[in-house]
Amino acid sequence: MRRINIGLIGWGTVGTGVIKILRSNAAHISRRTGVSLRIRRVADLDLKRVRGIKIPPSILTRKASQIIEDPEIQVVVELTGGLESAQELIIESLRKGKQVVTANKALLARKGKILFREARKNNRRIFFEASVGGGIPIIKILQEGLAANKISSVLGIINGTTNYILSRMTEDRISLEMALQEAQINGYAEKDPTLDLSGVDSAHKLVLLASLAFGGWIDLKKVYVEGINEITDEDIEYTGGLGYTIKLLAIAKQTASGVDARVHPTLVNRHHLLASVDGVFNAIYLEGDYSDRQIFQGKGAGEGPTASAIVADLIEAGKEILTGNLNGPGSLLIDDDLKMASMGEVECRHYIRIPAVDRPGVLAQIASILGSFNISIASVIQRGQRRRGVVPIILMTHLAKEKALKKAVARISRLPMVKGRPLRLRVED
């Protein structure tokens, strides 16, 4: 059986997982796939850190160039993270005739068009299953399993950190700050969780999912992004009483005016398939014209699931090398930017929490402002503990355009009886 030689650049948690899988399941992989995978060299700046596995010193190096320049290495796994240096490593590997496997969703979302063009120019491929959804094989599903379908919508819980935080807030009515601290203690959140909490990490992944689903490139700069920082345990309680669960959703839909792509905290009906996805789990919900509605769920991060996705890509890359088909049908052939719908034209129902002085006539003024923008109220709740004379007014609206809601809420926030910034959340029915 012909052996495929691999160079691993970046020996962190995920790289360690890849080595473990290739060691423990080598015979199983060879028997099932006909591919024998071998780590020929590992590069990392820190070779002394304890990782729980031992590697022969002879295959270790601090210089990534020793992997890229090695003619015996056929596949390079890039796990360094970052942008500029990772981009250079990938481009140089492609130019040296190597297949590339990466989990770098931030780089692909920002520089994917450049990298995929470089891959095609060199008759090579970039494999990126591990960039979205951890162990969920969603990239392969979109590239191959659902290739016969026109995908109309993609909805995803694709950040395990925020899903864990919102789940804990829902289960025990704890604050966001407490849930975040717990996530960090358990290793589910980074020391700096900004990319997760802000929704940017989900936006990176949505670019890749939507680009594959709709057959063109999604411009990251045109994706609307909003995080979960302003969600309180009271919002969890209020929305739960209305029959909803709050999730940070990545949403992409085909509309008459273009692709509607956005990331934001969303009220999901408790009967929706995504509502029960809790903890660090991810889930991606797809609608195709012939496949209908499907949901794919699994752990979205961690050593095991992510390493599993990388090894799956290594097997695929190895098969292509053995058959001589080095630029197979799974390549990302998306040169053209897709037309994007304006966020202002997005239409949905909204939840609005308004901290207002508890006195007669307040609701009438709020309703009058909403009415002036053709926004109708579906229901009103005034509950919660009065604090210094202020009580939250909870509104649910009927369908309304984003630009109208934005203007109306801005005007409401300027009312003298409103004592704080109103919070609005969109509803996904």
Tally DSSP H helices, then E strands, for the chain: 14, 17
Find how far residue 174's CA is from the centre of its chain: 24
Give dist(CA 105, CA 126) in Å, integer: 12
Q: Please give the domain boundaries of the chain with CATH numbers for all domains.
A: 3-134+303-323 (3.40.50.720), 138-298 (3.30.360.10), 344-428 (3.30.70.260)
Give dist(CA 343, CA 259) in Å, integer: 10
One-letter amino acid of 315: I
Which token pair is 407? 């203007």
**Could you say which of 98, 111, 205, 253 is catalytic?**
205
| Catalytic-residue membership of 150 | no
pLDDT in tens, the chain (429 residues): 689 999 999 999 999 999 999 999 999 999 999 999 999 999 999 998 999 999 999 999 999 999 999 999 999 999 998 899 999 999 999 999 999 999 999 999 999 999 999 999 999 999 999 999 999 999 999 999 999 999 999 999 999 999 999 999 999 999 999 999 999 999 899 999 999 999 999 999 999 999 999 999 999 999 999 999 999 999 999 999 999 999 999 999 999 999 999 999 999 999 998 999 999 999 999 999 999 999 999 998 889 999 999 999 999 999 999 988 776 544 565 668 899 999 999 999 999 999 999 888 999 999 999 999 999 999 998 765 566 678 999 999 999 999 999 999 999 999 999 999 999 999 998
CB 209 within 8 A of CB 129: no
